[in-house]
Structures are given as structure tokens and as C-alpha cells.
Amino acid sequence: MHEYSVCLALMEQVERVAREHGAGRVERIVLKIGPLSGVEAPLLQHAWPLVAAGTLAADAELVTETAPVVVRCTQCGAESEAAPNRLLCGQCGDFRTRLVSGDEMLLASLELARIDEVKASCV
Amino acid sequence: MCDTCGCNITSGNRHLLRPGGRLERSGDGRAAVSVLQGLLSENDHQAGHNRSHFDAHGVLAVNLMSSPGAGKTRLLEATIGALGGEFAMAVVEGDLETENDAERIRAHGVEAVQIATGSACHLDAHMVHDALHRLDLTGLDILFIENVGNLVCPASFDLGQHRNITLLSVPEGDDKPAKYPVMFRAADLVLLTKTDLLPYLTDFDPGRAERCLRELASESPLLALSPATGEGLDGWLAWLRDEVAAQRERVAQGLSARPDIQPEGAALHLREPRGSALPAAPGRGGAAATAGGD
Ligand SMILES: Nc1nc2c(ncn2[C@@H]2O[C@H](COP(=O)(O)OP(=O)(O)OP(=O)(O)O)[C@@H](O)[C@H]2O)c(=O)[nH]1
Ligand SMILES: [Mg+2]
Ligand SMILES: [Zn+2]
Ligand SMILES: [Zn+2]
Ligand SMILES: [Zn+2]
């Protein structure tokens, strides 16, 4: 599954941010994963320890938050929640909608420990 | 090949532009850093670099995705047969193991580079970039990228292509778009293939396949064809001709295109509000990203 690749990419990002801030340890990682991102949060959670072992994020808590699938109708303008495979307007039923939320795959935030003052101040 | 794109110069400095890296300090030596970067931003960055290569050479790059055996290679063989005199084409083949598909393409006198992905169930932008170094883009009109047969993973990785095509073959059943919404939503064109089998697989309803696609809010065209009999091939060839012409026009104007729902990558995240840990702005894809079509 590609969740392993995604974890590797996440690890690189986490290490880079931690380095930029002179952090010695990562304590918490918050992701935002939408149902239409193509990534399954439980599979990420499974793959993560394999990737994090032996790194500065080995003991970090990995939190995955889900955003609801929300569409905006290009015909009537209404915004409504939808099922991932039924992205119809909840108001008028039209299929010509745009996704407002639900496909995000973001590293939202990190909690770092032991910040190096010098590096942190030039961010 | 890569020394002119300036990509190396910016990558080391990119974090300075990011909204991330914002520190919210708490008293005990801990700090919360809001990052707000796409998880695949490294891949997306490489994909943008690939896209620059394609545009610099005026090549239209098309990514073909489907479940294993839906007929991607067979479609390419038929396409090469029909357009060989008209366009210069090359193929990048992604496969878990064999060189079989590349050899099938080479048998038609077209250059093919095989990427053996090993255990990886999808191509990513770095693999495609490596393949580009084994391929001369000069003079090419179309580069086809045949992704690994898989209806899940390839949809998440931008390769630098201009257009995504998803194949749905008749034996797979007409409800596949409802079962694999991420993949079918990514398609700029859906090809219903192996239509010569419709008389035998009588419960396959092409109308239902199209309804499932529309329920994903997709306005992409759906074309039915059979590379085996040649039935319906004309519509596909016309679509390709239009896309080649559109790509030439874009290149002449210094513009590019990306698949309709591909995320804007780093550029998108720069537009996101700063500060709050979890803003309401869309991340990967979303409303802002859809403006990124041509
Ligand atoms: N009847 C019929 N068979 C087809 C058609 N297109 C492809 N096939 C057959 O389906 C099988 C798989 O076709 P391929 O072109 O290898 O499929 P693919 O999507 O490239 O497969 P992978 O690369 O392994 O994912 C082959 O035996 C093809 O000859 C078609 O239009 N009609
Ligand atoms: Mg093939
Ligand atoms: Zn996978
Ligand atoms: Zn509506
Ligand atoms: Zn390059």
C-alpha cells in the first residue's frame, strides 16, 4: 500500500521541520486526512511505527483528524455535506459541484521538544 | 537535463517561503509548529519539475491508470498503430516486475522505458524523472505514462502529467467509479474499454457506469471503445489530437496545464491563512486547486 510511501514522505517533512527549529524530539504530529485524499488513516497509523523507529519522532503521538466531505454547488451555490462517492448538491441535487473540503492530506502541525533558541528566533 | 530549471537553487530555501515554521512557544521548552504542508509536497515539487521538462520540449504527457489488465498496453498498441504516422510518441511503462509491456510497445517501433517498481504499487514523480533521463524528449509529441495496474494508489501521486486517463474495462463491472471515487475523480477522461465483450457480460450497463461517474461530480467525458476490434477508437484519437493541439498552444504562450483535480502543491499552501493550527482552507485539492486547470 502507498501509505508506507506517504509515511516516508511525512518522516522527511517532520525531520526537516524539527531540524529547522533545532528540536531534539518530536512529541506530537497532527495530520489532516480527508476521506477523498486516497489515504486511509488507519493504514497510516499502522505503517508509521515502522518508519519512525529509531528517529527523533519514534515516540511521537500521531494524530489524524478527518475533515468532512463538503461540496459547493456550481448551479445553486449551496454548500452541503456529501458521501465520498455521491458528491451531489444537497439542495438541488445537481452533480456539478466543487469539493470544498474532504480531499486534504496535510501535515497540520508538530509539537517539538527542546528548542534551540538561536535557530528558532530566525524563523 | 536538470541544470537549467533552477529547481536545485530554490529547494534549499523553500522553507523560508512557507507559512509553516511558525512557532507558538509554550513555557516549558516545547513548541507547537504549524506546518500546513501537503504530505506529498516533495513529490508534487518533483512533479512540477517533470512538467517543466515536458513543456520545455513541447510534449503532451498523459498518465494512464486502471486496474490490472483493463487494457492500457493494448490501447497504447492500437493508438501507436493509428497515429504512428502523425505523431512522435514514447511510452514510460510502470510495472511491478516485468519488461513485458515495454517490449510490446517496442515491437511497434516506439521507444519505451520500463520502470520496474518492485513492491511499489504506483509510480511517483521521482521514478518518472529517473525514466526521463533514459529518454530523449526532443521532437516528441506525446509521452504516455502507463501507471501500475491499481485503482487506488496511483491517484495520489502527481507525476507531472498534463492529463489523467482512467480506463474501466467491461469485465470489471459498471459500479467501479462508486467503489474507487478517488481514482475516477482524478480522471480528465474515462475510457470504457473492451466494449466488444458487452454482448457477453449482459449485466454491464454503460449508462450506470456513467451515472456513477457523474455522482463523483465529474464532468469528464466518458468514451466507449474496444482496442481489440477498433470500435470507438476514433473518438479517443480525436480527443488526443485536440489535446496535442491544446498543448502546443499552451507551450507557445508559455502556459502549462495539470489534471483538473491535481493539487496546486506548494503554491496552494502559500495562499492558506497563517497562524491557526487547523484552518478551514482546503489542503490537497479542494476548491482552490480546481482553478488550476488550463
Ligand atoms: N476482448 C478484448 N480484450 C482486450 C481488449 N483490450 C485488452 N484486452 C486483453 O486484456 C488483457 C490485458 O490487456 P493489457 O493491455 O495487457 O492490460 P493492462 O491494463 O496493460 O495490464 P497491466 O499493465 O498488467 O495492468 C490482454 O489479454 C488483452 O489482449 C479489448 O478491447 N477487448
Ligand atoms: Mg500494461
Ligand atoms: Zn498501494
Ligand atoms: Zn445545487
Ligand atoms: Zn530534471
Q: Is the residue at B163 inside a domain?
A: yes
Kindly report the CA angle at B47 between B42 and A51, in degrees rounded to 5?
Answer: 30
Q: What distance in Å separates residue A20's CA from the closest CA in chain B?
A: 8
CATH number of the domain encompassing residue B111:
3.40.50.300
Instruction: Please determine, for residue B57, whether its predicted confidence score (pLDDT) is greater than 90.
Output: yes
Q: What lines the ligand 1 site, CB under 6 Å?
A: B 66, 68-74, 101, 149, 193-194, 196-197, 226-228
Domain carrying residue B247? 57-260
Residue B222 neighbours by CB under 8 Å, 6+ apart: B189, B190, B191, B192, B209, B210, B213
Closest CA to B172 of B161, B163, B183: B183
Question: Which of the pair, B256 or B260, is modelled with greater confidence?
Answer: B256
Q: Is the residue at B32 inside a domain?
A: no
Domains in chain B, number: 1
Summary mean pLDDT of chain B: 83
Summary mean pLDDT of chain A: 90
Q: Is the residue at B5 inside a domain?
A: no
Q: What is the mean pLDDT of residues B13-42?
A: 65
Instruction: Please determine, for residue B242, whether its predicted confidence score (pLDDT) is greater than 90.
Output: yes
Q: What distance in Å separates residue A27's CA from the closest CA in chain B?
A: 9
Handedness of CA B236, B240, B246, B250 (dihedral sign): positive
Model pTM score: 0.84
Ligand 1: which residue has its CA nearest to atom 27?
Answer: B69
Domains belonging to chain A, first-starting first, are: 2-67+102-122 (3.30.2320.50)
Instruction: Please determine, for residue B5, whether its predicted confidence score (pLDDT) is greater than 90.
Output: no
Closest CA to B130 of B262, B266, B259, B2: B2
pLDDT in tens, A10-67: 999 999 999 998 898 999 999 999 999 999 999 999 999 999 999 999 999 999 999 8
At residue B102 the predicted structure's pLDDT band, cuts being 50, 70 and 90, is very high
Question: Which of the pair, B99 or B266, is modelled with greater confidence?
Answer: B99
Q: Is the residue at B205 inside a domain?
A: yes
Q: Is the residue at B138 inside a domain?
A: yes
Instruction: Please determine, for residue B14, whether its predicted confidence score (pLDDT) is greater than 70.
Output: no
pLDDT in tens, B149-196: 999 999 989 999 999 999 999 999 999 999 999 999 999 999 999 999
How far the first Cα of chain B sits from its last, in Å, is 26
Strands (E), chain B: 22-25, 30-38, 60-65, 89-95, 111-116, 142-146, 163-169, 189-193, 222-224
Give the integer Cα–Cα distance in Å for B65 and B156: 11
Q: Is the residue at B33 inside a domain?
A: no
ipTM score for this prediction: 0.83
Give the integer Cα–Cα distance in Å for B162 and A4: 26
Q: Is the residue at B173 inside a domain?
A: yes
Interface test with B, best of A16, A36, A115 (most B CBs within 10 A): A36
Among B37-41, B158-162, B207-211, B263-267, the least confident range: B263-267
Q: Is the residue at B28 inside a domain?
A: no
Residue B263 neighbours by CB under 8 Å, 6+ apart: B38, B44, B158, B283, B284, B285, B286, B289, B292
